[in-house]
Amino acid sequence: MGGEEIDITTKVTAERIKKYLEQGKRFDGRKTDEFRNIIVEPNVSNKAEGSVKVKVGKTEVIVGVKMETATPYPDSPNKGNLMVTAEFLPLSSSRIELGPPKFDSIETGRIIDRIIRESKFIELEKLCIKEGEKVWTVFIDIYTINDDGNILDAAGIGAVAALKLAKIPKYDEEKEKVDYKEYIGKLPLREMNPFTITVHKIGKHLIVDPTREEEDVSEARISIGSSEGIIHSLQKGNSGCFSAEEIKKCFEIVEKSWKELFKKVNAQLK
């Protein structure tokens, strides 16, 4: 194989990470339930209806919201549509290869789609232009810029932040065209903060916001999408298992981390 393979965290380092966790400690000095520094930079792409750059430690993603008109789905003739995609760019890591989207990026898009959809964060019922004929489609597109672990939670923060910044462009009914130079108002959202927080299991230990090294060592993960204590989406990933007791602990960790994210993210969107 190529030169990148050796970069996968080595067995000896993995052992050290586990051993250190026995003492409740992490390599970078964080507590097990502590996030890295989070930087949210609004409006990084002015052609998007809303956009944001999110940095979690050295991990960086860019998320943009675009709006387009479309025909509604037959089962929701008066509701807007939602579409989420995540692109893991080869630009962001030597581990990402060229070619069609791999599982990681597809899963990330789907998990973010579910939390936004199930929490009813976007008031899709207000995005109807003409019942049965024309509604808005909200696109959330996620791009990775630098992958140093926990892309998923960074993408989730980015999706919430970009939506909060998003505006609805003007729809010209006569020309049946969107005028992207004029905006009629903010994207209608409910008062909530549906972040996705992933808890990883390493040995017997549960941690949040793993670095690349820690993610390599992780045996199982659980991604929990929630807002104000209500869980809207969940995905257990990787081949390891969680006991019911551990799941309970995960919920507690997520609740605590959610409060931390709520404060940090919203302060930077002001």
Partner 1 sequence: MTEEHKRTVVIPGETIKEGDAYLPGEGTEKQGNKIVALRYGLAEEHNRLVKVIPLSGVYQPRRGNIVIGKCNLITFNGWVIDIGTAENAFLPIMETPRYVAKDRLDEVMKIGDICVVQIFSVNGRGIDLTMKARGLGRIDEGIVFRINSNKVPRVIGKEGSMIKIIRDYTNCNITVGQNGYIWIKGDKIEDELFAKKAIMFITEKSFMEGLTEKVEEWFKENGGVKKETKKTEEKSGDKEED
Partner 2 sequence: MTSSFKRPDGRKVDELREFEAKVGIVPNADGSAMYRSGETIAIAAVYGPKKMHPQHSQNPEKGTLRCTYNMNSFSVSERIRPGPSRRSTEISKITEWALEPVLMLDKFQNMVVDVHINIIQADAGTRCAGINAAAMALAHAGIPMKDMVSSVSVGKLDKTIVVDLSKEEEDYEEGEGPTDIPISMTHSGDITHFQLDGKIDSKQLMEAVELAKKSCEQIYEVQKKALKDSIDLTGGED
Interface positions with partner 1 (CB under 8 A): 1-3, 5-7, 10-13, 15-16, 19-20, 23, 25, 27
Does 141 help bind partner 2 (rule: CB under 8 A)?
Answer: yes
Q: How many CB atoms neighbour CB 27 within 10 A?
A: 13
Residue 87 or 209 with smaller CB distance to partner 2: 87
CA atoms 70, 71, 76, 79: torsion sign: positive
The DSSP 8-state label assigned to residue 15 in this structure reads H
CA–CA separation, 174 vs 249, rounded Å? 56
Q: Which of 35, 136, 143, 195 binds partner 2 (CB under 8 A)?
A: 143
Nearer to partner 1, 2 or 100 (CB): 2
Pick one of partner 1, partner 2, none as the site partner of residue 132 (Cβ within 5 to 8 A by kind): none
- Residue nearer to partner 2 on the CB measure, 17 or 140: 140
Among the listed residues 14, 89, 129, 231, the single contact to partner 2 using CB under 8 A: 89
92 counts as binding partner 2 under rule CB under 8 A: yes
Q: How far apart are CA 145 and CA 123, in angstroms?
A: 30
| Closest CB 148 distance from partner 2, rounded Å | 7
CA distance 52 to 233: 23
CA distances 195 to 87, 153, 159, 161, 261, Å, are 19, 8, 9, 10, 8
Look at residue 139 and give the partner it binds from partner 1, partner 2, none, a contact being a CB closer than 5 to 8 Å depending on partner kind. partner 2
Q: What's the sign of the alpha-carbon dihedral 215, 94, 97, 89?
A: positive
Told to check if 146 binds partner 2 by CB under 8 A, we report yes
Of residues 5 and 75, the one with the C-beta less far from partner 2: 5
Q: Report residue 159 CA to chain centroid gap.
A: 6
The window from 86-94, 120-128, 215-223, 242-250 that contacts partner 2 (CB under 8 A) reads 86-94
Q: Rounded to the nearest 10 degrees, what angle do helices 151-165 and 103-118 cross at? A: 40
| Residues comprising the chain, all counted | 270
CB of 104 to partner 1, least distance (A): 22
Nearer to partner 2, 180 or 251 (CB): 180
Binding partner selected for residue 199 from partner 2, partner 1, none, CB under the kind-specific 5 to 8 Å limit: none
With respect to partner 2, which residue has the nearer C-beta, 11 or 181?
181
159 binds partner 2 per the rule CB under 8 A: no
Count residues near partner 2 (CB under 8 A): 37
Q: What share of the chain is helix, strand, coil (3-state, %, to 5)?
A: 30, 35, 35
- From residue 56, how far is each of 60, 99, 174, 232 by CA, in Å? 6, 26, 45, 23
- Residues near partner 2 (CB under 8 A) are 1-4, 44-49, 51, 58, 62, 64-66, 68, 85, 87, 89-94, 97-98, 100-101, 139, 141, 143, 145-148, 180
